[in-house]
Amino acid sequence: MNINNKLIICTQDTDRILASAVFKNPFWILNNAAQQADEISMRLAAAARDIFAHIRQRLTTALEAVLRIEPHRLLGQKNLALNELGNASNAAIKNVFIKNKLQLTAMENRLATLNPKSVLNRGYSITTNKKTGKLVSNAEDVKAGDLIITELAKKELIESKVTGK
């Protein structure tokens, strides 16, 4: 194909493009888009009105149902029941606390009587070998020259040296 033919084809294409609606009215695309946006906006507004009307109706129906069940009367009944449960639970907790306190006191008393150091207040003592820390319960537990610690009441300590058996 020669250059003249190509030039003729290009000229025809250019004439066809210039004859199109866009070049005759360049704002046509913008006007068309604006019109579509307006239509969408109107449809959205209508849909929103419909949704809000439906929600308003549902809320009205729900409010009527709530008013029919007399919530103030139900709340009063539930408050009374709740107060009764609260009083009963407080009494039960108090009883458990008192029972546990009595048991704890009894255990403390039993423990105090079993405490080996409680005999110290009655005039007895506890003697240990200073070097080994073992309890001296008979003469065979020490030998001459050993140091011993004697514990008396009120945590008083006496250090002694075994000089003989």
Euclidean distance between the first and the last CA atom of the chain, given in angstroms as a whole number: 140
What is the amino acid identity at position 10?
C
Beta bridge partners of 148: 129, 160
Q: What pLDDT was estimated at residue 158?
A: 92
Average pLDDT taken over every residue of the chain: 88
What pLDDT shows up at residue 163? Answer: 93
What's the pLDDT score for residue 149? Answer: 94
For residue 99, the model assigns a pLDDT of: 95
Distances (CA, A) of 72 to 1, 63, 98: 95, 14, 39
Quick: pLDDT tens for 74-119.
888 999 999 999 999 999 999 999 999 999 999 998 888 887 777 7
Q: Is the pTM of this model over 0.75?
A: no
Residues whose CB falls within 8 Å of the CB of residue 158, separated by 6 or more in sequence, listed in order: 149, 150, 152
Residue pointed to by tokens 């458990």: 96
* Neighbouring residues of 162: CB distance < 8 A, sequence distance ≥ 6: 142, 143, 144, 145, 146, 147, 148
Q: Which residues are registered as beta bridge partners of 15?
A: none
Angle CA 1–19–2, to nearest 5 = 10
Predicted pLDDT of residue 155: 82
Q: What's the pLDDT score for residue 54?
A: 96
Q: How many angstroms separate the CA atoms of 11 and 14, rounded?
A: 5
Residue 7 binned pLDDT confidence (cut-offs 50, 70, 90): confident
Residue scoring higher pLDDT (70 or 79):
79
Structure tokens at 125: 């003592």
- The least confident of 31-35, 122-126, 144-148, 149-153 is 122-126
- The domain locations on the chain are 21-114, 116-161
Confidence check: pLDDT of 154 > 90: no
Q: Which one is predicted more confidently, 155 or 138?
A: 138
Contacting residues for 125 by C-beta, under 8 A, at least 6 apart: 150, 151, 152
CA distance 165 to 162: 8
Question: What confidence score (pLDDT) does residue 19 get?
Answer: 78
